Amino acid sequence: MTETLTALPASVREVFQTVVARNPHEPEFQQAVHEVLVSIAPVLDEHPQFVDGGILERIVEPERQIMFRVPWVDDAGRLQVNRGYRVQFSSVLGPYKGGLRFHPSVNLSIVKFLGFEQIFKNALTGQGIGGAKGGSDFDPHGRSDAEVMRFCQSFMSELYRHLGEHTDVPAGDIGVGAREIGYLFGQYRKITNRHESGMFTGKGVQWGGAEVRTEATGYGAVFFAEEMLRIHRRSLEGLRVSVSGSGNVAIYAIDKAWQLGATPVTASDSSGYVVDDDGIDVALLRQVKEQERARISEYAARRPNARFVDGARPWEVPVDVAIPSATQNELDESDARALIDNGVRAVAEGANMPSTPGAVAALQGAGVLFGPGKAANAGGVATSALEMSQNASRQRWSFSDSERKLRSIMKDVHDAAFEAADRYGHGGDYVVGANSAGFERVAHAMLAQGVI
């Protein structure tokens, strides 16, 4: 990683070297910082005040990091201890905002990379939200509802003191869906004696949640792909699409791909992927993954023309558009080459940092339209901001109004990234565009608010 930095001014190189020295065991965090620092060089050239004002030194250091013990008792009466995290990265544009992830892979490096990306993603939406992320190494998979509830209650018993509608507003992420958000919100309400709707997003629509929030990340990623194609006078109509994952993002990316005339042909989980040339049956996928919480092979077992491929990722399947929607670093350089060889035209990241740096370089080098997660998956957090607006004004917008707003936000996000890439001499490079447009907004606000 350090080699590519030699082209940069010494001040930027030093910032990255300090990040590596200070955070030696955090490869994902280093990867996320590296990607941003490399791509914003033209912004720094044009705005020396950002370098002089110490924006870089400050932005790579979270405003606050919280780590805490989460003890709970399982159904067998045994004591379990997990670790909880909340990294409050930047509140310069608004209250801290970002999801909670419950997954055994969660550690400080993962939470910090996600929190760092969230700053720029949220800035790009233009909605006045800061950046944060949190979670735990707790694995909800295979746990009873009662165990999940006890875990969530213990988690919130510590985290509540750091939250609030004007302070920090969490939401879901991997492993944190409607069930977990309900338990977390309930415990916050009990401890604080406040029904503070605006302190959490992704709530049930019956108790303050927003229409389309569940669908928003997946829908948004497909809208983003549509915008990228539109620039080249193409549409999604008739295209084959591969999607990885089978959680919230993947399910609704598949759903929207169908609605826009494409055929989504894959879905996956950590055990392997399914390919269905008839197109993925969304209802069956939801039944298997959401209702039964079963493995993805179950889907193939119930569909005549579907095939389960054990232990592999879906990138070997020939498609026109790929939407990685599972997790970080799930699409590497050889996956990218397989996609390119099969003629892929566009990749839109539904997950956070799913493509490795080698994959991004290969895709962009081959002229594939590449929408990085910071832009392509911003629909989720953007709709969270719509939920906060509705909570603050005690309004409820209809599904169709909310979807229209989401679509127009995704167009704005696309256009902001496209325009910034052009302005900085990297036309068509959405990585440079998204990072530059997000960074500019944050950096101007940091300068205006002084050294804090």
User: Could you list the residues that contact ligand GLU (CB under 6 A)?
Assistant: 97-99, 171, 173, 201, 352, 380-381, 384
Residues contacting 291, CB < 8 A, separation 6+ = none
Instruction: Give the nearest residue (CB) to ligand GLU.
Output: 99
Residue 374 bears catalytic tag: no
CB of 171 to ligand GLU, least distance (A): 3
CB of 379 to ligand GLU, least distance (A): 9
Written in H, E and C, the secondary structure of the chain is: CHHHHHHCCHHHHHHHHHHHHHCCCCHHHHHHHHHHHHHCHHHHHHCHHHHHCCHHHHHCCCCEEEEEEEEEECCCCCEEEEEEEEEEEECCCCCEEEEEEECCCCCHHHHHHHHHHHHHHHHHHCCCCCEEEEEECCCCCCCCHHHHHHHHHHHHHHHHHHCECCCEEEECECCECHHHHHHHHHHHHHHHCCCCHHHCCCCCHHHCCCCCHHHHHHHHHHHHHHHHHHHCCCCCCCCEEEECCCCHHHHHHHHHHHHCCCEECEEEECCEEEEECCCCCHHHHHHHHHHCCCCCHHHHHCCCCEEEEECCCHHHCCCCEEECCCCCCCECHHHHHHHHHCCCCEEECCCCCCECHHHHHHHHHCCCEEECHHHHCHHHHHHHHHHHHHHHHCCCCCHHHHHHHHHHHHHHHHHHHHHHHHHCCCCCCHHHHHHHHHHHHHHHHHHHHCCC
Q: Which is nearer to ligand GLU, 214 or 297 (CB)?
A: 214
CB of 329 to ligand GLU, least distance (A): 15
User: Per DSSP, what are the bridge partners of residue 272?
Assistant: 269, 310
With vertex at residue 279, the alpha carbon angle to CA 430 and CA 348, rounded to the nearest 5 degrees, is 5
Q: Which is nearer to ligand GLU, 154 or 384 (CB)?
A: 384
CB of 380 to ligand GLU, least distance (A): 4
Distance CA 379, CA 217 (A): 5
Residue with tokens 């338990």: 183
CB of 96 to ligand GLU, least distance (A): 9
Distance CA 218, CA 267 (A): 13
Q: Are strands 306-310 and 79-90 parallel, antiparallel or unpaired?
A: unpaired
CB of 427 to ligand GLU, least distance (A): 27
Q: Which is nearer to ligand GLU, 359 or 385 (CB)?
A: 385
CB of 86 to ligand GLU, least distance (A): 12
Tell me which of 97, 112, 133, 256 is the catalytic residue.
133
Q: Which is nearer to ligand GLU, 64 or 232 (CB)?
A: 64
Q: Which is nearer to ligand GLU, 300 or 406 (CB)?
A: 406
CB of 354 to ligand GLU, least distance (A): 12
Q: Which residues are known catalytic residues?
A: 133
